[in-house]
Amino acid sequence: MRLQPRTVALLGAVWLGGGLGVALGLREVVRLQARTARRVIGKPLGEDVHAADRTYKRKYGEPLDLLLLGDSIAAGLGAETAKHTLGAQLARRLAKSTKRSVHLHTAAHVGSETSMLRAQLAALPAGYRADVAVIVVGGNDITHRVKVSESRRHLGEAVRSLRERGTAVVVGTCPDLGALTAVPQPLRAMGRLASRQLAAAQRDVTTELGGVAVSLAEVVGPFFIAQPDQMFAVDRFHPSSAGYRRTAKAMLPGVLVSLGLSDALPHGHHGPADIRPRPA
């Protein structure tokens, strides 16, 4: 995609200017990046997701409650069938690992920003308490230019609320937007920088509050970059069924650690200070 003269001029200001001019130029480039990403990606998948909530591996008994919160990735947009969503694939893997049935409850919504986690929690059934909550959010914060400090604050509120309920928390940090080949360079590079800054803030606040953070950019990002045709859905933005399978596999160790069923954190997983990563 050819860059517009306005964008080229702004990039020139970023690289050649200084002080306030650079800051203003960067802000404008990010604004253009968000607009470009929304135009290029569009909404070929719509906003309807497969209903995957049910009890998995019921025969095992003694069910665990798994709660999915966040945006379209947590909701499973892009999966071909209900069983291919992130929640369903993670529930099945958790059930097989623990030999316990897993009841999945998906409260995530397509298009959600981190600020919307509060409403998702408020909408849960009265008295509901999950054993573990998995949160994936952040991409919409980047495209809508939400300040990292605001995103961090809202995520911290959600993690704290869940922990106070006695729910273990696992956060899949903001995916690497630099993997979105549908967005042209150099705008894609700006997305990579912004998403990694947000992911670092999400990791820090999650572990500070006793949760486990899984760096999606580290543990699954390389697969999306190397195999985009397999890992992405038709919109080249959301994961495909294969992408969700890879993501669920990567997040499972963090879920097991959060539940106290393992103490081994692989590379890219970050736990509270009293949990040390497994040596490479």
Torsion 31-33-39-42 (CA) sign: negative
Phi, psi of 210, deg, nearest 5: 90, 10
Residue 19 has pLDDT above 80, yes or no: no
Find the mean pLDDT for residues 1-20: 45
Torsion 257-218-280-226 (CA) sign: positive
Does 72 qualify as catalytic in the annotation?
A: yes
Catalytic residue among 154, 238, 269, 270: 238
Find the mean pLDDT for residues 241-248: 92
How do beta strands 212-214 and 269-270 pair? antiparallel
pLDDT, one tens digit per residue, over 168-226 is 999 999 988 766 666 666 666 677 788 899 999 999 999 999 999 999 999 988 877 77
Report d(CA 152, CA 7) in Å as an integer. 29
**How far, CA to CA in Å, does 61 sit from each of 89, 95, 102, 168, 276?**
18, 10, 9, 20, 31
Phi, psi of 208, deg, nearest 5: -60, -30
Does 235 qualify as catalytic in the annotation?
A: yes
Residue 98 pLDDT level (bands cut at 50, 70, 90) = very high
| Structure confidence at residue 43 (pLDDT) | 55
Residue 6 has pLDDT above 60, yes or no: no
Does 204 qualify as catalytic in the annotation?
A: no
pLDDT, one tens digit per residue, over 114-157 is 999 999 999 999 999 999 999 999 988 988 889 999 999 999 99
- Of 205, 43, 231, 230, nearest to 138 by C-alpha is 205
Catalytic residue among 71, 141, 176, 235: 235
Catalytic residue among 72, 195, 215, 258: 72
| Structure confidence at residue 272 (pLDDT) | 87
Burial of residue 232 (number of CB atoms within 10 Å: 0-12, 13-18, 19+)? buried
Residue 22 pLDDT level (bands cut at 50, 70, 90) = very low
pTM: 0.81
Residue 263 pLDDT level (bands cut at 50, 70, 90) = confident
Task: Tally the C-alpha atoms within 13 A of residue 169's C-alpha that lie toward its C-beta.
Answer: 29
